[in-house]
Structure 1
């Protein structure tokens, strides 16, 4: 293929257009090298999703803790919670912890 036939080729004309010659490096710069590049935005979007998941997790935990606190208004429930969670006991009382071996 000679240079003249290459010049007449539509693809060659588009690539040698001044606007295209300026736009392609600009596009590459904006996608990969700029401070606000696509890669940076992708990383930030992933961080936002992770933080939203963390927020959701903690909101669920807060709701569970509020329900537990509401249950602990009753003195019997408070005593039961203290015995189960913190192994507290009354005077002159012995506590035995029985653990079952689940590994066979």
Structure 2
């Protein structure tokens, strides 16, 4: 017993750490940070996922606004014809269309995407 009192006298921090309330508090903190289902690390992962979902939400809201503007423009028959000519390379019966592709051109990339679908 005197050995333990000598150690506690030599290191006063051990007196504080040997208190049962401190021991329970340390155990509780370790449990909540590392082991619990709602641990700190799980919350960090969930917060990162939430941030990614918010970024995706913003992106899709912007896409919806852009599509709504396109729909408003396409109510005009001239705009429908222009859109069909540019996007789907449609033509009138008496016309010939020549598509000139350059390296890295987006037209080539769009065609390869539509073919793979």
The corresponding residue for 2:33 is 31
User: What residue ranges of structure 1 are gaps of 5+ in the alignment?
Assistant: none
Offset of 1:24 from its aligned partner?
1.0
Match status 1:4 vs 2:5 = yes
Give CA-to-partner distance per residue, 1:39-82, whole Å, 9 cap, x none.
11111111110000000000011111111111111111110000
Offset of 1:3 from its aligned partner?
4.1
The number of residues matched between the two structures is 101
Q: For 1:41-52, what aligned pairs fall within 5 Å after superposition?
A: 41-52=43-54
Could you list the runs of 4 or more consecutive aligned residues of structure 1 that deviate by over 2 angstroms after TM superposition? 2-6
The corresponding residue for 2:62 is 60
Q: Secondary structure at the match of 1:35?
A: coil
TM-score (normalised: structure 1): 0.87
Query: Which of the residues 55, 69, 89 maps onto 1:87?
Result: 89
Q: Distance in 1 between matches of 2:100 and 2:82?
A: 17
Query: Which of the residues 16, 19, 23 maps onto 1:17?
Result: 19
Q: Distance in 1 between matches of 2:103 and 2:35?
A: 58
User: What residue ranges of structure 2 are gaps of 5+ in the alignment?
Assistant: 105-117
Q: Secondary structure at the match of 1:98?
A: coil
